Amino acid sequence: MVKNTLIVSVVSTVLSLACSVLPATPWPVCAFPGSNFLGVGIFMAYLVPPTLLFLPLAQVIAKLGLYNTYWALILTYPTQLIPFASWLLMGYFRTNPKEIEESAMADGCSRLQILWRMVLPLSVPGLLSAGIFCFTLCWNEFLYALIFMSSGSMKTIPVGVVSDLIKADVLFWGSLMAAAVLGSFPVALLYSFFVKHYVSGLTAGAVKG
């Protein structure tokens, strides 16, 4: 279960961050007509509850034959993670000095070069904050994992704890407490290593954005 949860969480987080950078990138790096409406649309997509999406997503996963595979969750989680990460990164990207980006464009750098060489290195705390949030959401997600990966060998930690350690009205408290500690340890370890960047990314995006 730990292996399944780790694979799904890491791959989904990396994929979501990679897909969130361009929608969150501000002018002049990625300016185009209607970009403001796109930002509002991304934020509105994040407000759609997962309980409204899992039925159509279940049909898509069934047609693709991805039930009880890692790809069932890796392709599903970004539907919630990309809007969230894009919204969070928008606030942080706005704190980067526009003069640096404008000077780079005047020197002949392309928009992708500005994004790769200037925007992303300046936005490491924001990227770490979004990544930690996405990883935590994937690690603790229950509904999609219960529907799409319910077999014994493919269960994630939240699903395995509920299905294997709770039998009707019988609770295996010792095993439940041990599973809770082991399940929360990777997330706590991640927060402890990147807490400074995490707080910096949140405060910069919230206060200056």
- Residue pLDDT, tens place only, 41-58: 777 777 778 778 888 888
Tens-digit pLDDT profile for residues 109-144:
777 787 788 888 888 888 888 888 899 889 988 889
Instruction: State the average pLDDT over residues 167-195.
Output: 75
Tell me the CA distances in angstroms from 190 to 6, 106, 125, one per residue in order. 13, 40, 14
pLDDT at 10: 93
Contact residues for 205 (Cβ-Cβ < 8 A; gap 6+): 88, 89, 90, 91, 92, 94, 95, 126, 129
Instruction: Identify the top-confidence range among 48-57, 78-87, 149-158, 195-204.
Output: 78-87
pLDDT at 36: 65
CB atoms within 10 A of CB 49: 9
Q: Are 149 and 76 a contacting pair, CB within 8 Å?
A: no
Rounded to two decimals, what is the model's pTM?
A: 0.80
Quick one: DSSP state of residue 170?
E
